[in-house]
Structure 1
Amino acid sequence: MKIYKIFLLFLFISSFFFSAQSSQKILLDKLFDQLKKVDDFKTAQILEKKIWSVWHRHPSNNGLTEKLEFGAELMEYGSYDYALKVFDNVLVTDPKWSEAWNKRATVYFLMKKYTKSLDDIDKVLEIESRHFGALSGQARIFIKLQEYEKAIVSLEKALKFYPLFKSGKLLIPEIERLIKEESI
């Protein structure tokens, strides 16, 4: 009887978790559908903020959301090593949360550990292929590494999901200019 109760409790908890993840995915799908169709920057920016808001909330664990916020705050104040430990802890608890990988990738970028950052960005994109923030970060690393064609590819991927993505629209012509200068 005790095993049966534990099994029922497990089913209840897992169904809650999958339900929360599912509702978050449905919301993101809806927001990305709108983002693809919008034709003005103001509306696009509002949708972008909503998407970031969803990404920053863990689907079922408020404690992880709070840890992510704490790590982001540490990062903002330049405490990269401590922020890295916080994000490592979050990822041990939930390695399927794309935004935790994205935040750790950002810390690695700020620490100039570009290979580690790119590895984490790959994880982000495995989980959430539409993550325009990760794609933009990937492009910025490729620019630093002078791999300009790869940078353009990353930004073009972001523009497929977010056609009015300001960062992509501004960076691509700049990268093309760098490629021309390099070939002279």
Structure 2
Amino acid sequence: MNRNTLTAIITLSILGIVGFYYYKYTVMESTPGENRYRLANKYLEDGNYDEALQIFDEVLLGNAEYKEAHLAKAITLLQMGRLDESRKSFDTAIRLDNHYAQAYADRGILNDRAGQYEAALGDYRKALKLNPELAEGPGWLWRFLRNIPDPPQRLPTGQIIWKSSLRSPKVSDFFGCRN
């Protein structure tokens, strides 16, 4: 075997491995409807809520157990101001996985916006109990890729819960969230 043939075989092998992993992690669906879910999330991030909602509904018709799609649909409805429908989707996501910390945290935002501060506080507490890292907010890479500045300085979680139980202004103010 000459040197050029060996180089070609090695190059093609490396390209094949890279291509396989690219396909596996960007194109191939591990969950039915995952590619459509990704597209709907892109619409959600871009503020095209009607398109996102339509695709989330299609995905959920094909896979009603897709908790991430229920959560994303709830967030979309929340952004559209459709709070009652949003609550149903949050509840469905939580019913599918009652240890889904992100769903509790986001439902807390819904409750806060709806003026249900005690319920919001309960959801925030449950979310932080399930995943204490939620108090730190999005990681630096997520913020960098979406061109989001560093989060404002936050109070420690214990102080947030203690202070928020003393008065009832919007709970999300303590978390640095904006409506």
**TM bucket, shorter chain:** 0.5 to 0.7
The runs of at least 4 consecutive aligned structure 1 residues that moved more than 6 Å come to none
One of 58, 71, 77 as aligned partner of 1:102: 71
Tell me the percent identity: 21
One of 103, 117, 125 as aligned partner of 1:134: 103
Flag the structure with more relative contact order, 1 or 2, with Cα contacts below 8 A and sequence separation at least 6.
Answer: 1
Q: Which residue of 2 aligns with 1:72?
A: 41
| Mapped partners of 2:55, 2:128: distance in 1 | 31
Q: How does 1:154-169 map onto structure 2 within 5 Å?
A: 154-166=123-135, 169=157
User: What is the letter of the counterpart of residue 121 of structure 1?
Assistant: F
User: What is the letter of the counterpart of residue 57 of structure 2?
Assistant: D
Following superposition, the deviation at residue 178 of structure 1 comes to 4.4
Residue pair 1:148, 1:175 contacting (<8 A) in 2 also: no
One of 115, 119, 123 as aligned partner of 2:88: 119
Greater helix content: 1
List gaps (5 residues or longer) in structure 2: 1-27, 138-155, 171-179
SS of structure 1 residue aligned to 2:65: coil
Q: Which residue of 1 aligns with 2:52?
A: 83
| Mapped partners of 1:108, 1:116: distance in 2 | 7
User: What is the letter of the counterpart of residue 152 of structure 1?
Assistant: L
| Mapped partners of 1:79, 1:157: distance in 2 | 31
1:180 to 1:70, Cα distance in 2 relative to 1, 3 A: closer
Tell me whether 1:145 sits opposite 2:134 in the alignment.
no
1:58 to 1:123, Cα distance in 2 relative to 1, 3 A: farther
Tell me whether 1:179 sits opposite 2:148 in the alignment.
no
TM-score by length of 2: 0.61
RMSD value, Cα: 2.5
Bigger radius of gyration among the two: 2
1:140 to 1:79, Cα distance in 2 relative to 1, 3 A: same
| Mapped partners of 1:122, 1:68: distance in 2 | 19
Could you give the per-residue CA deviations for residues 92-151 of structure 1, whole angstroms, max 9, x where no partner exists? 000001001001001001001111111000000011112121111111111111111101
User: What is the letter of the counterpart of residue 89 of structure 1?
Assistant: E
List gaps (5 residues or longer) in structure 1: 1-56
1:145 to 1:66, Cα distance in 2 relative to 1, 3 A: same
Could you give the per-residue CA deviations for residues 1-27 of structure 1, whole angstroms, max 9, x where no partner exists? xxxxxxxxxxxxxxxxxxxxxxxxxxx
